[in-house]
Amino acid sequence: MEKALAGVKVLDLTQFEAGTSCTEMLAWLGANVIKVEPPKMGEQGRWLLSEKPGVDSHYFMLLNANKRSITLNLKSEQGQKIFVEMIKQVDILAENYSLGTLESWGLGYDRLREINPRLIYLTIKGFGTYGPNSKFKSFDMIAQATGGAMSITGFPGSPPLKPGPTIGDTGTGIHAATGVLAAYIQRERTGKGQKVEVAMQEAVFNFVRVPTMSMYITNEPSPRVGNRLASGAIGDIYKCAPGGANDYVYMLCTSPEMFEAMCQTIGRPDVFEDPRFKDRRERVKYIEDLTRIIEDWTSQRTKHEVMQLMGTAGVPCGAILDSLELLNDPHMKERGMVVTVDHPVRGKFTMPGCPIKLEDSPAEVTAAPLLGQHNGEVYGEMLGLSPTELERLKQEGIV
């Protein structure tokens, strides 16, 4: 079955996470993503946090599935010439180098769009390519700090807290994939490519637009409220048996019907009629009393039992699943969100799959490539280079 992005060719110059998560998404959806890496060492994510010297890291494997890898020395004149020839044949170029890096190699957008006017040129930067902070470098944590996520994460009175998910990195990558696909659709109408720019700070700021909306009412910075909802709705974590570090559920009642169903499920219909809890404003005053009542029931049951009972009753409730539980979760496996791939060095590797389900072209996940694994294949396809020519380029340090 043909994939949704079959025939779309991407040159991937990304490294670490913000860019690689974007190109991985495109690869999952069927694009021909060719990862271009420096010879010998490859992109930095290959060896970042690896527990085995000389073996690709789990970090790299999680972010580069479904891609092909070639090596090319872009700092060399010959390497730049080869790259330019490849640019003529591709739809998309993706990069997240430090500002000005590609320009210093003579491979900036202004030059490349002259070579290929249909090129969609994606650039990801911490703070964008212009503005007072554009020259500053960034990582996920910097984006989360400057984008507003840390300021609203934590408990009242606590220091700001870094959210666990890498919304500054992978969150930026998902934004970038959206921008690239929009530009691709527009190019199909106009025949003209364009530059797509995503700043990590701005992607995080987009994520916090709803959690920070209280500032429009109070004219004060939105506060840290921990796990509870500031609106007075019933929303919090509740302890479950047997009392381990992650034995909790998050339960949320946003309507009287949900609240009544929750009270019925815990065997306390009287709580629904209690004047302390009927009105949202009053409920805030007595929220600790309500929490104790709910936890008297949840603490006698496992988080999975609570989730099943509440879910059946129509009450939004989720067990707090740790990373190992997710990797072994039967629901996630059935939906193809947890997959096992065969890696040429590490063997069987279980990882998160593609979260987008397309009925006519479901994503199939393959293992991340070894460094330069597809040199012969890609250079043969695109440039007609023979094994002898490739060996010469390898000896010269070009590939």
CATH number at residue 22: 3.40.50.10540
**pLDDT tens across 163-208, in order?**
999 999 999 999 999 999 999 999 999 999 999 999 999 999 999 9
pLDDT score of 285 more than 90 = no
Specify the pLDDT at position 279: 83
- Whether residues 34 and 120 share a domain: the answer is yes
Q: What are the distances in angstroms from CA 177 to CA 25, 138, 198, 250?
A: 7, 19, 10, 31
- Residue 199 neighbours by CB distance under 10 Å: 26
Residues 6+ apart with CB under 8 A from 355: 337
Calculate what percentage of the chain has a pLDDT beyond 90.
94
Q: Residue 224 domain-assigned?
A: no
Residues with Cβ within 8 Å of 199's Cβ and at least 6 positions away in sequence, in order, are 124, 125, 126, 127, 128, 172
> Quick one: 314 and 188 in the same domain?
no
- How many C-beta atoms surround the C-beta of residue 143 within 10 A? 28
The last residue of a domain, from among 319, 339, 362: 319
Of 319, 353, 379, the residue at which a domain comes to its end is 319
pLDDT value at residue 380 = 98
Q: Are residues 19 and 147 in the same domain?
A: yes
CA distance 171 to 165: 9
Q: Are residues 93 and 200 in the same domain?
A: yes
Give strand pairing partners of 225.
none
Per-residue pLDDT tens over the stretch 46-82: 998 889 989 999 999 999 999 999 999 999 999 999 9
Is pLDDT above 80 for 262?
A: yes
Catalytic residue among 169, 270, 274, 279: 169
Structural domain ending residue among the three candidates 289, 319, 349: 319
Parent domain of 151: 9-207+331-395
Residues 366, 257, single domain; the answer is no
CB-based burial label for 217 (10 Å; 0-12, 13-18, 19+): exposed
169 flagged as catalytic: yes
pTM: 0.95
Q: Are 345 and 307 contained in the same domain?
A: no
pLDDT of residue 231: 65
> 52 with 175, same domain?
yes
Q: Could you tell me which of 29, 34, 28 has the C-alpha nearest to residue 9?
A: 34
> Do 54 and 96 share a structural domain?
yes
Contact 136, 209 (CB under 8 A): no
